[in-house]
Amino acid sequence: MSPVQKYAIGAGAAVLLSLIIFGAGFVTLLVILGVVAAPVIGYLMLDPSQRERLKRSRRRGIGR
pTM above 0.75, yes or no: no
pLDDT above 60 (res 29): yes
**41-61: average pLDDT:** 88
For the segment 20-36, the average pLDDT, to the nearest whole number, is 88
Percent of the chain with pLDDT strictly greater than 70: 92
Domain count for the chain, please give it.
1
DSSP string covering the chain, please?
--HHHHHHHHHHHHHHHHHHHH-HHHHHHHHHHHHHHHHHHHHHTS-HHHHHHHHHHHHH-TT-
Residue 20's domain spans which residues? Answer: 3-60
Q: Is the pLDDT of residue 1 over 90?
A: no
Alpha carbons 27 and 20: distance in angstroms, whole number: 10
Q: Which residues contact 27 (CB under 8 A, 6 or more apart)?
A: 15, 18, 19
